[in-house]
Amino acid sequence: MTAEEMKADGAPLEGADITPKRDEGVLKVVKREGSGTESPMIGDKVTVHYTGWLLDGTKFDSSLDRRDKFSFDLGKGEVIKAWDIAVATMKVGEICRITCKPEYAYGSAGSPPKIPPNATLIFEIELFEFKGEDLTDDEDGGIIRRIRKKGEGYSKPNEGALVEIQFEGRYGDRVFDRRELRFEIGEGDNYDLPHGLEKAIQKMEKSEESVFYLKPNYGFGSAGKEKFQIPPDAELQYEVKLKSFEKAKESWEMNTDEKLEQSCIVKERGTQYFKEGKYKQAALQYKKIVSWLEHESGLSDEEETKAKSLRLAAHLNLAMCHLKLKEYSQALENCNKALELDSNNEKGLFRRGEAHLAVNDFELARGDFQKVIQLYPSNKAAKVQLVTCQQKIREQHEKEKKMYANMFQRLADKDLKSAATLQTSHTEDEEMKDEQNGVEDKSEVDTEA
C-alpha cells in the first residue's frame, strides 16, 4: 500500500465507527467477508495476520513479512485497544482495515523508534481462528469459557461462597435446564449442577455473562442425568450470568473459635453427604477442616485437643471417601496423616490396609491388618481381610514359583539344545578328520606303488 493509495479519497479514514463510545476512535472497513455467524469473545485465543502503516504509508510492522501468524488473548489488554475492539467484530476468514486514533493505539508516548507520539495508525487484519479459554487445571479442554460480557472488578467466588446465578443448560439444540439459583459453591450436586460448572463459576467476576462448554467428565459423566434426559458421556453447554456472590471467609480471616465452630458444622455436612453416597461432596467438606486447622498454632490445651480430634476425623473420613472413589493413593496419604496424629488408630490402620490391598501390596496390607488384630483382637473385619491377604500372598508365591520353574526349564532346555548342537558339531568334525586321514593314506600307498 502506497502513501497515495492511503490518501486517495480519504479511504483509510472512512469506515464504520466500532468504538463503544462512538467517538470515531476506531473505524473499520471490511475488505473480505468472513464465514460463519460467530465472532471471538473476551478471553478467546485468536490467531491473525496483520500489517501496520503510518498515515504517510510507512509500513512499520507485518506478520506476513515474518511469515509468522500472531496469537493473543482477546480483551485481556495484551494488544492495543483498537485491536481488542476490532477483532471482536470479525469472523473467521475476514480481512478488514482499521484506522485507529492515538488514544486507541500507542497514545502520546508512541512506540519508538517506529511509531511517533500521537500517531494515527492503519492496520489490515485477517482472522484465521479463535478458541475459548481452557479453565481446567490440567488444560485438558474439559471446561472451555467464552465471555459474552466482561464482569466487574477482580474478585471471584471461592469454595463455600454463596452465589446467585441465572443460567441455561443445553444438550445439542435442546434446552434441558433454565433457572435462577442461589446456592453455596460445593453444594451444586444438591441442585443438579455438574461439578465442572461449579468449577467454572469460581472463575467468574460479578455480572459476567459467559458460555461454558463441558466435556463429559466435567458434566454428568458416564452416568448421564436421567432427570434431564442426558445420556452417558454427553457434552454440555451452559450460558451463565453471575448476578452476585458473597465470598466465604478464607482461613486467614477466621479466628481459632470460628475455625473450630465451622469445622464442626462442615464435618456434620460431610457426614450427611457420605451417607447419601455423595463422596466427592463429602470430601470437599472434610478438606475444609484440614485447610483450616492443619497449621493452626498458639492454641490452648483445650483448643489443641479439639483441633486434633477434628483433624483426625477429617483425615479418616477423607480416606474412606477416597476408598469409595477408588482413589487409593489419596486414601493412603490421608491414612498416613491420621496415623501421624494417632499411630495406633484402629480405623487408620484398617483403611490403610484396605488401600494397600486394593493396589496389590499384600505384604503391607497384611502388616496393617495384623497390627489391628494385635491392638484390637475383637476386630472381625481385620481377621477376614488378613485371611484374604494370606491367600493372595500364597497365590502370588505359587505364581512366582511357576514362573521361575518355567524360566529354569527354558534355560535347561536351552543348555541341552546347546550341548546337543555342540556334540553334533564335534562328531562331524571327527568324521571329517577320519575321511581326511583315509585320503592321505590312500595317496601314500599310490605313491609307493
Pick the catalytic residue: 80, 122, 144, 165? 80
CA–CA dist 284, 280 (Å, integer): 6
What does the pLDDT look like over 239-267, one tens digit per residue?
Answer: 999 999 999 988 889 999 999 999 999 99
Nearest to 320 by CA among 340, 343, 342, 348: 348
Q: Is 99 exposed, middle or buried (0-12, 13-18, 19+ CB in 10 A)?
A: buried
Q: Active site includes 80?
A: yes
Strands (E), 115-208: 121-131, 133-134, 143-149, 162-171, 174-184
What does the pLDDT look like over 140-157, one tens digit per residue?
Answer: 999 999 999 999 999 999
Q: How confident is the model at residue 36 (pLDDT cuts 50, 70, 90)?
A: confident
Long-range own/partner contacts, residues 395-403 (CB < 8 A, 24 or more apart): 396/362
Q: Active site includes 50?
A: yes
Other CB atoms within 10 Å distance of the CB of residue 417: 10
Pick the catalytic residue: 104, 123, 130, 167? 123
Q: Active site includes 106?
A: yes
CA–CA dist 132, 142 (Å, integer): 11
Length of the chain (residues) = 449
Long-range own/partner contacts, residues 346-352 (CB < 8 A, 24 or more apart): 346/372, 346/375, 346/376, 346/379, 347/316, 348/315, 348/316, 348/319, 349/375, 350/379, 350/381, 350/382, 350/385, 351/316, 351/319, 351/320, 351/323, 352/319
What does the pLDDT look like over 281-339, one tens digit per residue?
Answer: 899 899 999 999 999 999 999 999 999 999 999 999 999 999 999 999 999 999 999 99
The DSSP call for residue 408 is: H
CA–CA dist 50, 31 (Å, integer): 13
Q: In the numeric block, which cell numbers belong to residue 449?
A: 606303488
pLDDT at 429 over 90: no
User: In Å, how far are 131, 177, 247 from 184, measured between CA atoms?
Assistant: 30, 19, 10
How confident is the model at residue 419, as a pLDDT? 60
Q: What is the mean pLDDT of the chain?
A: 90
What does the pLDDT look like over 37-90, one tens digit per residue?
Answer: 899 999 999 999 999 999 999 999 999 999 999 999 999 999 999 999 999 999
CA–CA dist 395, 209 (Å, integer): 59
Average pLDDT over residues 155-177: 96
Of all residues in the chain, the percent with pLDDT exceeding 70 is: 87
Pick the catalytic residue: 42, 44, 50, 279? 50
Q: Active site includes 140?
A: no
Q: Is 285 exposed, middle or buried (0-12, 13-18, 19+ CB in 10 A)?
A: buried
Q: Active site includes 279?
A: no
Pick the catalytic residue: 104, 106, 171, 350? 106
Q: Active site includes 61?
A: yes
